[in-house]
């Protein structure tokens, strides 16, 4: 079994195993474990893990600014800077905030993604040429995936609030505007699964990408596709008693957990996969979410040419001035014909004699 198959199968079997665990558990009447105990544990791991990670990152000193080359940094006054330069290489706090907002909300740096490919070129002696071209599909897939996920998470708040705030029901109406099928198909759910499949397909079909993909890259994708699929199946095919589901969800958030009878096994599979995602979050690549806010290249103002930044752990260095150097090597430098501040005395007299 080659490297690729080993990694993708490990991730796939892990997710299928998790589904089986939840299914068998619920069939064995472990509703209390899967409906109450595991969700609370997963939430604790999620919050504790993320806080631990963020504090760990905050312990790393970042004394210097790391300007990105994407924009002209603020320098001499006659060097013109456009709005894009100011946002890509900000020298003031508001623009740093702007850069962060663009990164978080619009995935600015992913939008710059390029792809390098060897393209057949018979007119060339090598028969091929290397082309770098702007490649927006990854950006599109990623932004569709993340926004669909966000909409789904906010929509799910209707199970955790009573009465349901107006904006949540409004979001549900907008999301279901196609008015197709009963219950109305939510666009976000379909987009999430399709975008997830695109992100997965891209890892599998592109050989370069496949080479650098590990089980930890496939696992979250399989997991999220699994969550989306079980959710869609539960809503449109294997119906569950939604009123009992809300009772369970409200029980969790009001800290009076209840396990209403008669919720189908598929609900517990869905819930268990979500719990695994939450618990897995602080140990995985999914930490790019909080990590983005802690990225020095994104959250620091690029004012290197405006402000002097001193390394906080500088120690007093015993340094030597140029004159000390010249004093020591004056004669050798004179012989080598190097320009000197003070001509050697002996040489001077020799010169005068001549």
Partner 1 sequence: MADYKNEFGWFAEKPKVEKKIYDRNKVAIGIVVFLVIFTIAFWKNLGKAVPPPKPALETAAIIKLPEKERTCVEDVEFMRQRHMRLLVDWREQVIRDGERYWTNSKGEKYLASLSNTCMECHTNKTQFCDQCHNYVAVVPNCWGCHLTKEEQVAKAEAK
Q: Does 288 bind partner 1 (CB under 8 A)?
A: no
Determine the 3-state secondary structure of 91 from DSSP.
Answer: coil
Question: Which CB sits closer to partner 1, 317 or 336?
Answer: 317
Q: Does 297 bind partner 1 (CB under 8 A)?
A: no
DSSP state of 119: E
Q: Does 180 bind partner 1 (CB under 8 A)?
A: no
250 touches 160 (CB < 8 A): yes
- Where in 248-277 is the site for partner 1 (CB under 8 A)? 250, 253-256, 260, 262
- Where in 22-41 is the site for partner 1 (CB under 8 A)? none
Q: Which of 14, 41, 50, 143 binds partner 1 (CB under 8 A)?
A: 50
Q: Can you point out the beta strands (E) in the chain?
A: 114-120, 128-134
Binding mask of the shown chain, residues 52 to 81, with x at each position contacting partner 1 by CB under 8 A: --xx--xxxxx-------------------
Token pair, residue 192, equals 């999430």
Q: Does 5 bind partner 1 (CB under 8 A)?
A: no
Q: How far is the CB of 202 from partner 1 (least distance, A)?
A: 30
**Does residue 104 come out as left (phi exceeding 0), alpha (psi in the -120 to 50 range) or beta?**
alpha
Span interacting with partner 1, options 72-80, 203-211, 244-252, 267-275, rule CB under 8 A: 244-252
Q: Does 242 bind partner 1 (CB under 8 A)?
A: yes
Question: Which CB sits closer to partner 1, 87 or 245?
Answer: 245
Q: Does 161 bind partner 1 (CB under 8 A)?
A: yes
Token pair, residue 24, equals 């068998």
Q: How many angstroms separate the CA atoms of 98 and 96, rounded?
A: 5
CA nearest to 269, candidates 223, 236, 237:
223
| C-alpha torsion 165→168→170→173, nearest 10 | -140
Q: Which of 320, 321, 351, 354 binds partner 1 (CB under 8 A)?
A: 320
Q: Does 164 bind partner 1 (CB under 8 A)?
A: yes
CB atoms inside a 10 Å sphere around CB 20: 12
For residue 309, what are the CA distances in angstroms to 62, 114, 187, 306?
11, 33, 49, 9
Q: Does 47 bind partner 1 (CB under 8 A)?
A: yes
CA nearest to 292, candidates 156, 146, 189, 193:
146
Q: Which of 12, 100, 138, 168 binds partner 1 (CB under 8 A)?
A: 168
For residue 31, what are the CA distances in angstroms to 26, 66, 84, 88?
6, 51, 54, 51
CA nearest to 111, candidates 91, 85, 138:
138
CA nearest to 188, candidates 222, 218, 143:
143
Q: Which of 207, 312, 339, 351 binds partner 1 (CB under 8 A)?
A: 312
Q: Which of 317, 332, 336, 353 binds partner 1 (CB under 8 A)?
A: 317
Q: Does 295 bind partner 1 (CB under 8 A)?
A: no
Question: Which CB sits closer to partner 1, 142 or 244?
Answer: 244
Question: Which CB sits closer to partner 1, 305 or 328?
Answer: 328
Element (H, E) at 281: none
27 touches 265 (CB < 8 A): yes
Token pair, residue 80, equals 């013109």
Q: How far is the CB of 319 from partner 1 (least distance, A)?
A: 8
Q: Does 160 bind partner 1 (CB under 8 A)?
A: yes
Q: How far is the CB of 246 from partner 1 (least distance, A)?
A: 5
Q: Which of 82, 134, 206, 243 binds partner 1 (CB under 8 A)?
A: 243
Span interacting with partner 1, options 8-16, 74-82, 156-164, 215-223, rule CB under 8 A: 156-164
Q: Which residues contact 52 (CB under 8 A, 6 or more apart)?
A: 282
Q: Which residues bind partner 1 (CB under 8 A)?
A: 47, 50-51, 54-55, 58-62, 157-164, 168-169, 172-173, 179, 182-183, 239-243, 246-247, 250, 253-256, 260, 262, 290, 293, 312-313, 315, 317-320
């Amino acid at each position: 079994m080659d490297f690729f198959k080993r990694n993708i199968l490990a991730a796939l079997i892990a997710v299928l195993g998790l589904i089986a665990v939840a299914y068998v558990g619920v069939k064995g009447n472990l509703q209390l474990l899967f409906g109450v105990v595991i969700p609370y544990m997963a939430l604790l791991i999620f919050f504790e893990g993320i806080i631990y990670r963020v504090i760990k990152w905050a312990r790393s000193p970042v004394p210097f600014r790391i300007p990105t080359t994407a924009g002209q940094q603020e320098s001499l006054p006659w060097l013109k800077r456009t709005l894009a330069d100011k946002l890509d290489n900000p020298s003031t706090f508001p623009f740093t905030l702007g850069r962060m907002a663009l990164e978080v909300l619009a995935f600015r740096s992913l939008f710059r993604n390029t792809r390098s490919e060897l393209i057949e070129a018979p007119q060339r002696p090598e028969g091929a040429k290397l082309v770098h071209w702007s490649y927006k599909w990854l950006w599109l897939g990623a932004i569709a995936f993340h926004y669909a996920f966000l909409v789904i998470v906010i929509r799910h708040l209707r199970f955790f609030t009573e009465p349901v705030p107006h904006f949540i029901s409004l979001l549900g109406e907008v999301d279901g505007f196609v008015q197709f099928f009963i219950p109305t198909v939510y666009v976000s759910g379909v987009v999430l699964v399709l975008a997830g499949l695109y992100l997965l397909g891209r890892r599998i079909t592109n050989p370069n990408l496949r080479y650098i993909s590990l089980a930890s890259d496939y696992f979250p994708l399989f997991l999220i596709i699994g969550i989306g699929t079980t959710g869609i199946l539960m809503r449109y095919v294997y119906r569950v008693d939604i009123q009992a589901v809300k009772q369970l969800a409200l029980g969790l958030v009001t800290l009076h957990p209840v396990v209403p009878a008669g919720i189908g096994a598929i609900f517990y599979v869905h819930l268990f996969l979500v719990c695994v995602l939450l618990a897995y979050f602080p140990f995985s690549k999914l930490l790019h979410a909080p990590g983005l806010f802690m990225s020095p290249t994104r959250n620091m103002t690029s004012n290197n040419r405006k402000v002097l930044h001193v390394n906080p752990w500088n120690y007093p260095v015993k340094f030597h001035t140029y004159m000390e150097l010249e004093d020591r090597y004056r004669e050798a430098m004179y012989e080598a014909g190097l320009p000197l501040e003070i001509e050697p005395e002996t040489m001077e007299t020799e010169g005068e004699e001549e």
